[in-house]
């Protein structure tokens, strides 16, 4: 899945549910400011993102915490666990039984444990199942960083999402010509399931298919 306005590539894992809570962009002089908020309801996502310039904002919410992504490679789980491969992820979290939120930064090579609130070096044994997806995200990020999908070879993102293009996968036709710039999609409750297919506004979402 490709979010062009924030320069983000995501791989939604099988049997995962990801909700688009907010997907905005607005002009700011010669720049474009993006404001993206996702809700990971189930499963996990592997992501890579170009470094965002303030005041652009990108976050992934789980039931346990909010992960603010600036420019990094990462794995976020719906249970609140976060592992960082490159860059840094800032977390706001609440430990069980504690209503006061705490903040922590997770650097490259480290993981956050939502049960303890501790940040520790990532065990290499935890990553083999993600190796394929991590490499795919890196390859796609490199591709899009050079100007988008490789149309000559027919390689395009399975689920490209932006305020202008809406939510669709590579078999869908584009939505009509309505201008959605600057709109808050929080009321649409749009989803992208774990096989990379997006569902349009008003859809209650679907779970990812097992591969």
Distant-in-sequence, close-in-space partners of 144: CB < 8 Å, separation ≥ 6: 2, 4, 7, 9, 157
**DSSP assignment of 90-157:** EEEE--TT--S-EEEEEETTEEEETTTTEEEEPPGGGSGGGHHHHHHHHHHHHHHHTTS-BGGGTB--
CA–CA distances in Å: residue 18 to residues 106, 122, 147: 22, 24, 26
pLDDT one-digit tens code per residue, 134-162? 889 989 888 876 544 333 333 444 555 54
CB 113 within 8 A of CB 126: no
Nearest one of 148, 191, 198, 207 to 173, comparing CA atoms: 198
Task: Return the top range by mean pLDDT from 75-79, 121-125, 176-180, 191-195.
Answer: 75-79
Mean pLDDT of the chain: 75
User: Residue 48, class by beta-carbon neighbours within 10 Å (0-12 exposed, 13-18 middle, 19+ buried)?
Assistant: buried
The whole-number average pLDDT for the span 43-52 is 92
Is a pLDDT exceeding 70 seen at residue 195?
no
pLDDT one-digit tens code per residue, 77-107? 999 999 999 999 999 998 777 778 899 999 9
Is a pLDDT exceeding 80 seen at residue 26?
yes
Q: d(Cα 45, Cα 196) in Å, to the nearest integer? A: 11
CA–CA distances in Å: residue 84 to residues 35, 105, 148, 211: 21, 10, 25, 25
Neighbours of 187 (CB within 10 A): 10
Confidence of residue 132 (pLDDT cuts 50, 70, 90): confident
pLDDT for res 36: 95
Q: Percent of the chain having pLDDT more than 90?
A: 41
CB 163 within 8 A of CB 23: yes
CB 23 within 8 A of CB 45: no
The whole-number average pLDDT for the span 23-30 is 86
């Amino acid at each position: 899945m490709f979010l062009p306005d924030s320069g983000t590539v995501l791989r939604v894992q099988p049997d995962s549910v990801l909700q688009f809570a907010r997907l905005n962009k607005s002009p700011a002089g010669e720049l474009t400011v993006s404001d993206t908020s996702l809700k990971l309801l189930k499963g996990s996502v592997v992501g890579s993102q170009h470094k965002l310039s303030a005041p652009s904002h990108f976050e992934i919410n789980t039931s346990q915490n909010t992960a603010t992504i600036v420019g990094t490679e990462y794995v976020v789980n719906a249970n609140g666990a976060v592992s960082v491969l490159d860059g840094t992820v800032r977390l706001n979290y609440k430990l069980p039984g504690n209503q006061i939120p705490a903040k922590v930064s997770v650097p490259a090579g480290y993981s956050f444990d939502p049960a303890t609130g501790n940040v520790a070096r990532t065990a290499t044994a935890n990553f083999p199942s993600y190796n394929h997806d991590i490499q795919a995200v890196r390859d796609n990020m490199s591709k899009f960083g050079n100007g988008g999908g490789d149309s000559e070879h027919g390689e395009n993102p399975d689920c490209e999402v932006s305020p202008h293009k809406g939510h669709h996968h590579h078999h869908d036709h584009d939505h009509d010509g309505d201008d959605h710039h600057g709109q808050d999609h929080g009321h649409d409750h749009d989803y992208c399931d774990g096989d990379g297919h997006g569902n349009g506004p008003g859809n209650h979402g679907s779970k990812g298919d097992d591969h």
